[in-house]
């Protein structure tokens, strides 16, 4: 038996890390889906052989090169619209580094949406994924 501590990320999501040996043994890599089932007793079963791979519906939101506010661009509204249209993966990209204000806008927006989390961040992009169906 291996004991792990819960970690809280975002506003309402909890994570438990999986043992590297288990990941290696099951030939899993970052981004691979696993199925999680809850038993009647409340235990969780993690199935690494999850094969139902639905096509993710994804969209890219480009932050304008010029001052986004001057061109009427609202990043929060763009993210919310993509979420409401059912996109599972939302990637925000910019030719220049994404500013702290733009990053704050992303974080404030996703706190209001159910099941969407930041899965990857770089200087010029932020990848979001909706974790609920």
pLDDT in tens, 4-13: 898 888 777 8
Contact, 51 vs 82, CB < 8 A? Answer: no
Topology agreement, domain 7-47 and domain 58-130: no
- Pairing label, strands 13-15, 7-9: antiparallel
pLDDT of residue 50: 66
State residue 10's pLDDT score: 73
The fold of 7-47 is Pemi-like Protein 1; Chain: D (2.10.260)
Q: Which fold has domain 58-130?
A: Translation Initiation Factor IF3 (3.30.110)
pLDDT in tens, 55-110: 678 999 999 877 655 555 689 999 999 999 888 899 999 999 999 989 999 999 99
The proportion of the chain whose per-residue pLDDT surpasses 90, expressed as a percent, equals: 44
Which of 65, 67, 62, 75 lies closest to 125, judged by CA?
62
Number of H helices, E strands in the chain: 3, 8
Output the pTM of the full model: 0.58
Domain boundaries, the chain: 7-47, 58-130
* pLDDT score recorded for residue 34: 84
CB 31 within 8 A of CB 120: no
């Amino acid at each position: 038996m291996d004991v792990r501590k819960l970690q809280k990320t975002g506003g309402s999501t909890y994570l438990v890390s999986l043992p590297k040996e288990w990941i290696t043994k099951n030939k899993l890599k970052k981004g691979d889906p696993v199925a999680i089932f809850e038993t009647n007793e409340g235990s969780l079963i993690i199935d690494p052989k999850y094969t139902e791979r639905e096509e993710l519906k994804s969209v890219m939101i480009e932050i304008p090169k010029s001052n986004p506010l001057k061109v009427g661009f609202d990043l929060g509204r763009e993210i919310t619209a993509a979420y409401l249209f059912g996109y599972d993966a939302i990637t925000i990209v910019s030719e220049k580094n994404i500013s702290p204000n733009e990053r704050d806008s992303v974080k404030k927006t996703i706190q209001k949406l159910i099941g969407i989390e930041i899965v990857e961040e770089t200087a010029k992009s932020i990848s979001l994924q909706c974790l609920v169906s």
